A and B are shown apart, each in its own frame.
Chain A
Amino acid sequence: MKIRVAVSLKPGVLDPQGRAIHHSLEGLGFSGVRDVRAGRLIELDVADDTSDAALEEMCRKLLANLVIENYRIERVPA
């Protein structure tokens, strides 16, 4: 089973990388970009019987740092 975990900075946490990307987009002439937030996408291939609780635990214990980040788990249809 394929799983996608999207990790993003919590709202309100300054994102210097997102800001630099925003700057570069403006430098390339793209106007109307209001904000850019950079995150991380982690793809897992796990046993089909992996529980939601186990996936949550993986995120909390390692994949995301809950001091600064949120995560979203998505099961990818086969």
Chain B
Amino acid sequence: MSGTFRAAVVTFPGSNCDRDMAVALEAVSGTPPLKVWHGDAELPERLDLIALPGGFSYGDYLRSGAMAARSPIMRAVVEAAARGVAVLGVCNGFQVLSEAGLLPGALMRNAGIRFVCRDVTLTVENTASCFTAGYGPGQRIAIPVAHHDGNYFADDATLDMLESEGRVAFRYAEPINGSSRAIAGVLNAAGNVLGMMPHPERAIEATHGGSDGRVLFESVIGGLVKA
């Protein structure tokens, strides 16, 4: 890769963490990310990372992430992911990635019905991906969650496949939303697409309550800059 890190943050109608994501990417990479609108048909060229932020795209109509997954920009995101561009979906972004078929499974209403908004402890299950390489195996990290539909569901065969292929990136250290096997984040088969319900972009400054999320951005930005 030559020179600066090129990231894009996609904004859907109803996204509300796109600015936080942009701030986190700029804080770690030194370069502000490009802003992309859901109705755009094409992504900027030569991207290293595409981030799908949290929020309530299309008011969560039909199913969380369902409408956004069919928006024009997502065709370009699917193509970029197939070419190996890193794609990070956080919270609603994870819901969009699963609805778009880039990640297996689905995110259902939290088992306890309640919206869960607090810091949670995660265990890092995969340290081989471009997103998680900076963490230690089994490391416990504190990252905030804020979601209503974070209850990860997949059938047993899919869950077994994810486990055997090392594609569970993060697990909740304690149950918070009913997720199958306490899964908080999953990777695609190639390892360049990560979806996670917790918000690493809200944990990049110690003065804001914690910086355990910063390592994720350092991993993906550092790895891609070196590549």
Which residues of A approach B to under 8 Å, CB–CB? Answer: 13-14, 16-17, 20, 61-63, 65, 67-68
A13 with B178: CB separation less than 8 A: no
Q: Is B154 in the interface zone, CB < 8 Å from A?
A: yes
B224 neighbours in A (Cβ, 8 Å): none
Q: Closest Cβ of chain A: how far from B9's Cβ, in Å?
A: 25
A65 with B106: CB separation less than 8 A: yes
B155 neighbours in A (Cβ, 8 Å): 67
B62 with A13: CB separation less than 8 A: no
Can you list 19 pairs linking A and B with CB atoms under 8 Å apart?
A: A13-B108, A14-B153, A16-B113, A16-B151, A17-B109, A17-B113, A20-B113, A61-B70, A62-B62, A62-B70, A63-B62, A65-B99, A65-B106, A67-B98, A67-B104, A67-B105, A67-B106, A67-B153, A68-B108
How many residues of B are counted as interface, with CB atoms below 8 angstroms from the partner's CB atoms? 20
Q: Closest Cβ of chain B: how far from A39's Cβ, in Å?
A: 12
A61 neighbours in B (Cβ, 8 Å): 70
Q: Secondary structure at chain A's binding surface: helix, strand, loop or mixed?
A: helix
B154 with A16: CB separation less than 8 A: no
Q: A14-B151, A67-B155 provided; 10 other pairs, C-beta below 8 A?
A: A13-B153, A14-B111, A14-B178, A16-B111, A17-B109, A62-B62, A62-B66, A65-B66, A67-B104, A68-B106
